[in-house]
Structure 1
Amino acid sequence: MTTQTEARAAGEAARATGWTVVVLVATLCGFVAGYAISLRTGIEPGYFEAPEAGGYGVVPGGPKMSEELKKYYEGLAK
C-alpha cells in the first residue's frame, strides 16, 4: 500500500512527464508547419542583392538594377 506522499509524488511525476510530451509535440508540429510554409513560399531569387532590400546597409550609390529587374520587382507588389 502506498502512502499519500508517495501517491502525490507519482501524480506530480506523471503530470511533469505529460507536460514534457505536450511541449515536445507542440515544438515538433510548429517546426514541421514552419518548414512546410517556407518550402512553399521561399524567397525570390536576387532579393537580398537588390538595393531596395531595406535594413542591409546598402548605400544609395550601390549597384544599379536593370530596367527589366525593376519592372519584375514592381510587378511583385501588384
Structure 2
Amino acid sequence: MTNPTRTKRCGGDVLCGIDNHFQLLLYISENHCQLETKTFFEYFLRIVNKTHDYAILENKKIVFLSRIRIFKSDEA
C-alpha cells in the first residue's frame, strides 16, 4: 500500500493515499472533482492498463519464442 501523504487544502489537512483505479474513482466522486478530471483519469488509466497488458503479452511471446529456439537447438 502507498504511504498516505498529508496535503494542505482550503478546508484543512487531508490524508490521501491512492493505490488503485477504484480508490482513485472513489476519491474523485467523494471530493466532487469535475467531470473532465474524472474522464481524463479514466481515459489515462485505460491506456495504462492496455499498455501493461500489451507488455505482458509481448513478454510472453518473447519467452515462448526463446523456448522454441532452445528446443530446436537441442534437437540438432
TM-score (normalised: structure 2): 0.54
Greater strand percent: which structure? 2
Q: Give the alignment's Cα RMSD to 1 decimal.
A: 1.4
Count of residue pairs the alignment pairs up: 44
Point out the structure with max Rg over C-alpha: 1
Q: Percent identity?
A: 9
Residue 38 of structure 1 corresponds to 69
Alignment map for 1:28-67 (pairs within 5 Å)? 28-42=59-73, 44=76
- Poorly superposed stretches of 4+, deviation over 3 Å: none
Give the CA deviation at 1:33: 0.3
TM-score (normalised: structure 1): 0.53
Structure 1: segments with no counterpart, 5+ residues: 45-78
Structure 2: segments with no counterpart, 5+ residues: 1-31
